[in-house]
Each structure stands twice: as C-alpha cells, then as structure tokens.
Chain A
Amino acid sequence: MTTLDAIEAPGEQRARRPIRPFHNIWPKIALTPMIATALVVFLGGTIWTVVYSFTSSGLLPRTDWVGFAQYQRLWSTPKWNIAIRNLAFFGVFSLSFTLVIGFTLAALLDRKIRGEAVFRTIFLYPFALSFIVTGLVWQWILNPEFGVQGIVRSMGWTSFNFDPLHNPDIVMLGILIAGLWQGTGLIMVIMLAGLRGIDEDIWKAARVDGIPTWKTYVVVIIPMMRPVFVTAIVLISSGIIKLYDLVVAQTSGGPGISSEVPATYVMTAMFGGQNLGQGFAASTMMLLFVAAILVPWALLEFGGRKRG
C-alpha cells in the first residue's frame, strides 16, 4: 500500500509539471566532474582494462584479439601462482588475526578502564603511517644481524633462526607481522564503536542471569555485532587484495619471487615488463576477487533489507 503511494505520487507531479531539461542547469554542471569520473574513469576504465585483457598488447595497447590466451599464460606462470598462494596465506591469516586482535582489544578497552584514550591512541597510531614507513621499520626490526634474531642469539640461543625477509618459506610471515601492526587499530576502532552501540541492559540481564563475561561476549554480543563484523571483513578483505606498498618496502617481491602478490605482478607486467596484456589479465583477476567478496556482501546487505 505505502509503496504504491510512493510510486504514484511523483508520477502525478510529473504529469502536471512539464519536463524542462535546462531548468536549474547549475546542479547538472556542478555534478559534471563526478559524473565524468564515475562514467569515464571508474566504469569506462574498468571496461577498457577487461576488454584489452583479451588482446596481445605488449609495449602498447593494441586490438589484436587472442581470446583467453593471456589468462592461460597467467595461470601457467609460476610467479602468478606464487602470488596467488601468497595472497591466500596473507588473506586467511590477516583476516582472522585482525578480527581476533581487533575485537579483543576493543573488548578490553570497553571494560570501562582508566586511560582508555591513551591506549586507543597507541593502538591506532600505526594506521596513520604509510605502508612504506611500516614496511621499512619492520624490515629493520626483522634484520637478521641486529634485529629479533640477533637479539635472541646474543642471549645465548645461538641456533635460533628467524629471518623472515630473507627466507622464502616464511617471507609472508614477515609481511603479515608488519601488516597486522599497521591495520589492527582500525578494526579495533570499528569494533569499539560497535560495542558502544550495544544496550547496557543486555549486560545487566546477562549479569543477573549469572552468565560469565566471556560467554556473554561469545553467545550474545558477537552475534549482535554481525553488521559490524561484516563491515570489518569487507574492509580487511579489500585491503588484502590491494596489498602492494608493504611488499615493495619490505622485500620488493623477494627473495627471488617468493613474496610476489597479484598487485606487484600487475605493476611489473604493466610498467616494468612491457607486457600490458598480462597486466590487464592479472588486474581483471584482481577485480574478480573483489567481486567475489563484494557481490555476496551486497546481496546479503541490500537483498536482505528489501525483504525486511
């Protein structure tokens, strides 16, 4: 009923008022930069890249169609497969650790503690720093001679080995440590805002029922914070796919190609390898990864809202 009214009302108005395309021209002019950005850069640029990923473009883009050849080559290149494996490793651990650490810190801060502002400021400051700064600091802390490994060895444990940035097997761990340090603060802030939004009465009710605090969190609070978690997951995931600067600063993809990620693969193919087609195909794959996260989320969020 109400929806029908809402649909009909503007229709009636439109029938009465003639359409004047030059009426109030300023809003249209004012919005031109935004419309151009949305249509030409975001929509047009994306379509352009996807279309040219089906060509044999090398040094320059050209319309020599080769079908899925670039994708076949992409998935048979060891470097891309390593990049995907690294992204998967980084993705799984970064997502789970960021959520757990972010939520735990937020829950600790939410216990009405003294000096909350101080702790919050400390946990969030890494987020103000660039990935380059983050990467370079951790490169130095993880330095095998003077950093963590060197310190443990000098304390007597001479066989201790922890040199992630020079060991292909654990290089992604080194990047993960730096990434977590930089990014957990943001998730903590989002989680804290979510926790503050929860009604005090729920805590009172849980306390009256004698439910232990940790159990209240697991059974009551976390399920109530589902939208906050969804936002956090979308946020962390799109950050993971963008992972680039941190790798460049810490390892430049090395040792060898052991810490390559999709973004570094795209950049070398496009601007270093004169291999545009590969760059386009790889970036289209990145787009698909984002779509794989965003489409289910959008369906869940907006599809669900319509039904409700």
Chain B
Amino acid sequence: MAEFSTNPATLGASRMDDGPRGPRPRRVLSSTNIMLYGTLIIVALYYLLPLYVMIVTSLKDMTEIRMGNVFSPPVEVTFQPWVKAWAEACTGVNCDGLSRGFWNSVRILIPSVLLSITIALISGYTLSKWKFKGSEIFFAILIVGAFIPYQVMLYPIVILLRDSGIGISNAINTVWLPVCETFGGECRRVRVQLFGSLSGLVIVHSIFGMPILTLLFRNYFASIPEELFKAARVDGAGFWGILFRIMLPMSLPILVVAIILQVTGIWNDFLFGVVYTRAEAYPMTVQLNNIVNSVQGIKEYNVNMAATLLTGLVPLTIYFVSGKLFVRGIAAGAVKG
C-alpha cells in the first residue's frame, strides 16, 4: 500500500504562505503521487487485461494462436472468427451460430423489461402514495424474499408455471370450445404453455426483478412532494390520473436507471434461462456456455473469444454509454444484494 504521510513542517509553512483560503498547492511529481498513480495504473492494466485478451484472441487465426500466447497481439488481423461465432458455431445439431441466442435474448429481454418495470412502477407508486393497511407488510416480505437464494424457489415456480398454464388453458377452453362449436368450425383445444416457454421466462424475470425495482420506484415517488399529490386529489384526479399525468412525466430519470438495471441483469442471466426454457429458446449466455464448453470437436479459441465478446457487448455498451446512471442503478441494487 502507498503511504500518504504529510510532513507537519511543510504543512505549517504552506498554511502561512497560502493565506487562510484555498487548498495547498500540490507538487505534481512527489513520491506520493508516483506511488499513487503507479498503483492505480498497474491495477487498471490488470482489470483491462481480460478485455484486451478477448479482443486480440478473437482477431487471430488458430495457427497464430497455437504459435503465440494469450497476450500476443495479432500479426494478421482476421474477422473470420467473428463471422463464424455469429453465424456458424455449433451447439448440438444446430450450426447457426450465436445469432440464434442473440435473437432469443432480445425476444426475452424486451417483454421482460417492459412487464417488470410496469409492475414495479405501479407497485412503487401505490406503496408510496396510496398506502393501505398491510401494504407495507407485503413489501417487507418482498424485500426479505430478495435475499432468498434462487435455488429455493426454482422448483415451486416450475410447478406454478406448469399448473397455471394448464389452468389458463382449461379456462379458455371451457369458454372457447362451446362458442367455436356453435359456429361449427374445426375446433382445437387451446394450449397455453408457461413452463418451458418464453412467456414463462418473462414472468420469472418480472418476479425476481420486482423487489429491487419496486424499492427503486417507491423511494423515488416518496421523494416527490406530498403537496403536489394532494393538490391533484383536490382537483379531482384519481389513482390512474395522478400516475399518468403527474408521476409518470416526472419519473424519466428513475425509468432510465430501472431500464439499465433490468437490461444488464436480464441479458446476463444464465440460471433462469437454463431452467425455464428449452434448448431452441436458450438465451445468449446459455448458448455461449454450450458453444465454448462443448466437449466435441477441436477447441477454436478465437471463435470462442469472439462469441464471448459478442455476448458481453450489449451490457458493455450500456455501461460505457450510460456512465453515472449505471452506477446509480447498481448503488440502488446494492441495497438489495
């Protein structure tokens, strides 16, 4: 560790010279500064190393990889590994590359983000402005639930999704079949499947995103002055009127934080993807793991790293573009853990 001891003698002297105000002028090349920046730069290089390794490996061909090491820069840059990772890499019998997982992830991501944020926004609004007896208790259970390991709830959710899928199907069919038969069409039973389908995974993401997002919105709406809310009520606005006309237009910053949080969280999810979907609907992370850790064939490290980088590209882009908002999002997430 660097030592930042301050010499009392110079401290006293400079205080006299500087006058009472303003910081003490600092020497740029003091030994303290060299230690400080030296440490920071070395650590920063260490943190950047894996990103560098991913990039250079994905730009080399296999003969070059076999001759060099993970850190050696490419002599001849090739984008072939990227093309192969995106369009040709194999998982099992499918050889259409990571593009399949990418589009699956997009199909999972968009409805999950929309549904989870909608539910959480309305819940947070109700919890802060329309409290009723017991509402806080349910919220407390929700927050405690955020700490429960996912493994504890995985199987009950499997049952819930399967059974409510059957239940919804039956309910639809008891109405639909008689109606259909009276009009004399070819009537097939409607089958709603929640477990093992995209809609099931969307529900799961909404469930597990709920504690942190609800907390986020609840705290945000609680900071909006009560007078505003009361004035609107006096003017005759109701539950939805206040939400859409007053609260929603004011909640853009927190919406952005919530979107960042959910997009990165859902994109990076592996566990729910592997449990609640089937092979052809696997999200990108699951497919990536299957491609790279497949035991068949020769290991193509350059294709693997291109695929890894492709998967990481979405959250990385969000991170580098959003900057401070990402930090705000995870600082809010930190409360949840």
Contact = CB atoms under 8 A, between A and B. Distances in A.
Interface of A: 24, 26-28, 30-31, 33-35, 37-46, 48-49, 61, 104-105, 108-109, 111, 113, 119, 121-134, 136-141, 143, 146-147, 150-151, 154, 181, 185-186, 189-190, 193, 207, 210, 212-214, 231, 234-235, 238-239, 241-242, 244-245, 248-249, 252, 262-263, 266-267, 270-271, 276, 279-280, 282-284, 286-287, 290, 294
Given A41-B160, A122-B48, A147-B69, A127 B330 contact: yes
A42 B145 contact: yes
A186 B126 contact: no
Given A119-B44, A132-B270, A137 B53 contact: yes
Contacts of A151: 69-71
A150 B308 contact: no
B132 to A, nearest CB: 6
Contact of B148 (A207, A267, A276, A287): A287
A283 B150 CA distance: 9
Contacts of B39: 108
A299 B156 CA distance: 29
B311 A270 contact: no
- Chain A to chain B: the 4 pairs with minimum beta-carbon distance, closest first: A42-B145, A130-B268, A45-B156, A213-B4
B55 to A, nearest CB: 11
B152 A38 contact: no
Given A31-B138, A151-B69, A128 B130 contact: no
Q: Which of B44, B142, B154, B156 has the most CB of A within 10 A?
A: B156
Contact of A30 (B5, B123, B150, B207): B123
Interface residues of B, number: 94
B156 A44 contact: yes
Nearest to B292: A136
A42 B6 CA distance: 54
Contacts of B50: 126, 134, 137-138, 141, 181
B138 A34 contact: yes
A151 B293 CA distance: 23
A284 B152 contact: yes
Contacts of A279: 151, 155
Given A137-B54, A141-B70, A213-B4, A128 B264 contact: yes
A78 to B, nearest CB: 20
Contacts of A37: 142, 145, 207, 210
B315 A128 contact: yes
Contacts of A190: 331, 334
Contact of B157 (A41, A111, A186, A266): A41
A276 B132 CA distance: 40
A290 B292 contact: no
Contacts of A123: 43-44, 47
Nearest to B71: A151
Nearest to B140: A38
A48 B5 CA distance: 58
Contact of A130 (B135, B138, B207, B285): B285
Contacts of B239: 24, 26-27, 30
Contacts, number: 263
A140 B337 CA distance: 29
B275 interface: yes
Contacts of A34: 119, 123, 138-139, 142, 210, 214
Majority secondary structure, B binding face: helix
21 contacts: A24-B130, A27-B126, A34-B123, A37-B207, A38-B138, A41-B157, A119-B44, A129-B315, A130-B311, A130-B312, A136-B308, A140-B301, A141-B50, A143-B70, A146-B68, A146-B69, A150-B69, A193-B331, A239-B337, A266-B151, A283-B154
A213 B135 contact: no
A235 B337 contact: yes
Given A38-B141, A113-B36, A140-B301, A128 B318 contact: yes
Nearest to A206: B6
Contacts of A276: 155
Contacts of B139: 34, 38
A241 B147 CA distance: 10
